[in-house]
Each structure stands twice: as C-alpha cells, then as structure tokens.
Copies of this chain bind each other. A is one copy, B any other.
Amino acid sequence: MKPSIPKGTRDFSPVEVAKRQYIIQKMRTHFEKFGFQPIETPSFENSETLMGKYGEEGDRLIFKILNSGNFFFNKNKIELPESINSLQTNSAETISVNELVELNKFTNNISEKALRYDLTVPFARYVVQHQNDIEFPFKRYQIQPVWRADRPQKGRFREFYQCDADVVGSTSLWQEVELVQLYDSVFTDLGLNGVTIKINNRKILSGIAEVIGASDKLIDFTVALDKLDKIGEDGVKKEMIEKGISETAIEKVQPLFNFTGSISEKITKLSVLLADSIEGMKGVEELQFICDNVTDLGLTSAILDLDVTLARGLNYYTGAIFEVAPPKAVSMGSIGGGGRYDDLTGIFGLKNMSGVGISFGLDRIYLVIEELGLFPETVTTTSKAIFLNFGQEETKYSMKAITELRKVGVKVELYPDNVKIAKQFQYAEKRGIHLAIIVGDDEMKNNQFSVKNLVSGEQQKVDFENLKKMLQ
C-alpha cells in the first residue's frame, strides 16, 4: 500500500517551499510598508460563524469537523433521526429540501466546527469580537490557508493560501488609491512588470442597469459585453436581445460597444452615458478620483485600466472593483482581485463598517513567475558547500570549520557518513550543492581546505580565512 494524500491537497518540496516563501515574504514586506498589520485566526471556526455566509453552494463546500471522541460521548445519546437511515439519493442534485434539512440537523449534531473557507468572514468575526481593542480604521493583512471541498481540477485545490489586505472603518477613497499602489509595489518587486490592474465600480454597473431600464438584466448585459473581443458587436447585441434586453436599451448604451481610449476618455464617455443616473454619476466621480490620483502619483510597472465589464463578486461589492491580469506574455486568469464592501461586519452585528480590500492569488502568481523564469537563483535553501566525510579525524577538523562558518551565517553542511567518496560527490550534485570541501592529511597538516567546484570541476586549496570569503 503506497501512502498517498487526499485529492486536492499537495506536498511541497524544499524548492517549492523556498519559492512560496519568497513570494510570501515580499507580500509581508509591502503589506507592512503600506501600514497593514498581520493577524492570524484559527484554522477552524464555530460552524455558525461560517454557515450561511457563502450562499447555498458555499455552505456545501465547507469542510466540517467531527466532534472529537471525548466530546461525542459526553452527550448521553447520539441523536440520529430515523429519516437519515432512510435517505436514499444518487447525487447532490436530486436531494429534496426535506432530506437536506434532515441532513443538516444530523451533521450539526455531530459537528460544531468547520475549516475556514476564506479569510474575509474570519476577519469580520475578528473585528467584531475584538472591536474594543482595535483602533479604526484597521488595516489588516492575513496570509493563511483556506479549505474548500470543491471538485479538484488543474490549478484548483482543496487547500490553498489566501493573501488578503483589507481596511475596515473608513470610506476614504485614498484607500483605493493606496491599494492600487500596493498591487503595483508587490508585482514590481516580484519582477512581474506589466500586470494590468483593472478597475470598475459597482455604482457604474448599477447606473448602466438604470439606464437600460432593467436592473435584473445587468449580469446578462455585462457577460455579453465581455465577449465583444470574441464575437464582435453584432454577436454581442444578438446575445443581449436573446436575453431579453430591448433594442432601445442597447441603443442607449451604444458607446459601450466602442469603449476604447485612455482612462480619461472612458470616464468622459461614462459621464455622458450615465448623466441621468445619480448612482451612476457617483460611480464616475469615484472612479475619476481614484484614477486621477493613481495617475498623478504614478505606477512603477503596472498598467491601470478601466474595465466596465468587470463585475466579480457583484452581490458583494458596493464600490470599487479590482482585478489584476498577469503580464500579456502569460496566458492565465486573474492573479488578484478585490473591492469595497459597505457592510463587512454587519453579519456579526457591527453596523456601518465599510471595508475595502484586495487579495493576491499565491498559486497563480507562483506559476506566472515560474513560467517567466523570474525566480532569482538565490531563492534556494540549498547549502553553499558540503564537507565530504573522510573519517573521524578529518570530520573533527571539518566540524571546527563548519561551526565557525555557521556562526557567520554561512549555509554549510557535513556529509554525515564515511562512505565511498563517489557516492558523496553524487549526493552533492543531486542536491544541487555547488562546492564540495575536501579534507585529507595534507589539508590538516597545512591548515587548509580543498574546495572543488562541482559545476566547473576546478579545485583549489585555501586556508580558513579564504574559505570563509569564498562562502560568505
């Protein structure tokens, strides 16, 4: 029986951990530079904290934890409704509401905790629970794993990290300006030049809905409009009509079909288009403030773009909406996203707390950096050199040097066993260690070390001071 891990989960090898830590450390540095403070929350929360916060589909994807043995038996009897025994279904799709109710009763009885599904709900819970210890506005970042019982597929895992930076307790649009700068700052430092930070505003979308006279058709409208590149203006209009959007409505927003130009040109077009919508114009004003200030302050390598089709988490966001596309050389979905949500903590009883935040997609960022070959060679945990093992006396001599080298921070190791030297060389090469240190009678007599470069094959004898210089 070969050991394995649950589907949708991953082991990370030393090289992978080093690269992930490289990204995470960069994020930490920039988050803190922008005044965000780290918090961490427990891996599991009380079920009632999580359930009902992610919609029906989300609830089903939450991993529930069985009450532990002890706890289980502390109740006099395990309550199992007879109806559970008679449950008979073939798939989630065919379960009746009654059955679902019975199942929920049952699982709630044997499970009172669940694994974190995202970092936003635990953050809201944290803010409400610790509100008396927090100074608002509270800028927090959080880098922790989350778990989702999604069907695993390429690039989608059941355990993955989320990296979130949010501000709660201020409606100032300067936050949005800073969050765009934060994206720019992180991606520039990671060498990912030319990411596109797309921005939109929920109020723009509501304004469009108002103008076309069909609030309920908004999602159909944006989904269709998003296909403009692929199916052309006629194709988009055909789809809109099929979805029940009137020709008059489509006529009203004709400029959206040729929505190109600079950000300020786009904003001008939107001002004309949404002139009759108070909410729409509020959205235009917000977008203008953010874009103007971002442009004035300048981005280092990222490109800001206004994308009126951007509608991620439409039910959730109330103001700005962000999404980051990787550099054009890479074909991959968004590597980050976020937005403003006006009532973050309302679900836990603390009203009027506006929040705005962004998220970084660690797994995808990793893949993009890998694909572009942008991980620095220095991102490794491998030792600088390995001292080969020629026997007890030689090793004592080596260990004195190793001890001193480590004191000055050099990553160095000893081959622990006195085995055939060919095997030791092979080990060093397979481990990717570039320098092998050889200590024999000669070296011991002369207080020296032979250093063999395993890449070039060159070998030289040096004293300890020079060895230290070579390795530092």
How far does the alpha carbon of A84 sit from the alpha carbon of B430 in the complex, in Å?
54
Stretch at the interface among A170-178, A210-218, A326-334: A170-178
Q: Which one of B70, B348, B386 lies within 8 Å of A60 (CB-CB)?
A: B70
How far does the alpha carbon of A103 sit from the alpha carbon of B76 in the complex, in Å?
14
Minimum distance in angstroms from A380 CB to a CB of chain B:
9
The total of chain A residues at the interface (CB under 8 A) is 121
Say whether B414 contacts A174, CB under 8 Å: yes
Say whether B33 contacts A129, CB under 8 Å: no
Point out the residues of chain B lying under 8 angstroms from A133, CB to CB. 13
Q: Taking A11-B39, A91-B73 as contacts, is the C-beta distance between A177 and B6 under 8 angstroms?
A: no
Q: Which one of B5, B39, B45, B92 lies within 8 Å of A12 (CB-CB)?
A: B39
Say whether A381 contacts B44, CB under 8 Å: no
Say whether B11 contacts A130, CB under 8 Å: yes
Q: A2-B129, A21-B28, A73-B90 are in contact. List 13 more A-B contacts (CB 8 A).
A: A5-B46, A13-B133, A32-B381, A33-B411, A43-B159, A59-B69, A64-B68, A70-B92, A73-B92, A74-B91, A76-B90, A80-B80, A296-B396
Say whether A111 contacts B32, CB under 8 Å: no
Minimum distance in angstroms from A151 CB to a CB of chain B:
7
- Chain A residues 25-70 with CB under 8 Å of chain B are 28-29, 32-35, 37-46, 49, 59-66, 68-70
0/1 string, A89-130, CB within 8 A of B gives 1: 111100100000001000100111101000000000110111
CB-CB nearest in chain B for A426: B135
Point out the residues of chain B lying under 8 angstroms from A181, CB to CB. 403, 406
Say whether A412 contacts B38, CB under 8 Å: no
Q: Which one of B5, B21, B293 lies within 8 Å of A42 (CB-CB)?
A: B5
Minimum distance in angstroms from A212 CB to a CB of chain B:
34
Point out the residues of chain B lying under 8 angstroms from A14, CB to CB. 37-39, 140
User: Which residues of A line the B interface, CB within 8 A?
Assistant: 1-6, 9-14, 17-18, 21, 28-29, 32-35, 37-46, 49, 59-66, 68-74, 76-78, 80, 84-85, 87-92, 95, 103, 107, 110-113, 115, 125-126, 128-130, 133, 135, 137, 139-140, 145, 147, 149, 151, 159, 167, 170-172, 174-175, 177-178, 181, 185, 293, 296-298, 300, 348-349, 381-383, 386, 395-396, 399-400, 403, 406-407, 409-414, 416-417, 427, 430-431
How far does the alpha carbon of A299 sit from the alpha carbon of B257 in the complex, in Å?
73
Point out the residues of chain B lying under 8 angstroms from A135, CB to CB. 427, 430-431
Point out the residues of chain B lying under 8 angstroms from A68, CB to CB. 60-64, 149
Say whether A44 contacts B9, CB under 8 Å: yes
Minimum distance in angstroms from A56 CB to a CB of chain B:
10
Point out the residues of chain B lying under 8 angstroms from A37, CB to CB. 14, 17, 381-382
* CB-defined A-B contacts under 8 Å, sample of 22: A3-B125, A4-B46, A5-B45, A5-B46, A6-B42, A6-B44, A11-B41, A11-B126, A13-B133, A33-B409, A37-B381, A42-B159, A63-B68, A64-B66, A69-B149, A73-B89, A73-B95, A74-B92, A76-B88, A178-B414, A297-B399, A297-B403
Point out the residues of chain B lying under 8 angstroms from A44, CB to CB. 6, 9, 63, 147, 159
Say whether B77 contacts A88, CB under 8 Å: yes
How far does the alpha carbon of A173 sit from the alpha carbon of B289 in the complex, in Å?
67
How far does the alpha carbon of A395 sit from the alpha carbon of B174 in the complex, in Å?
9
Point out the residues of chain B lying under 8 angstroms from A6, CB to CB. 42, 44-46, 112-113
Say whether A3 contacts B348, CB under 8 Å: yes
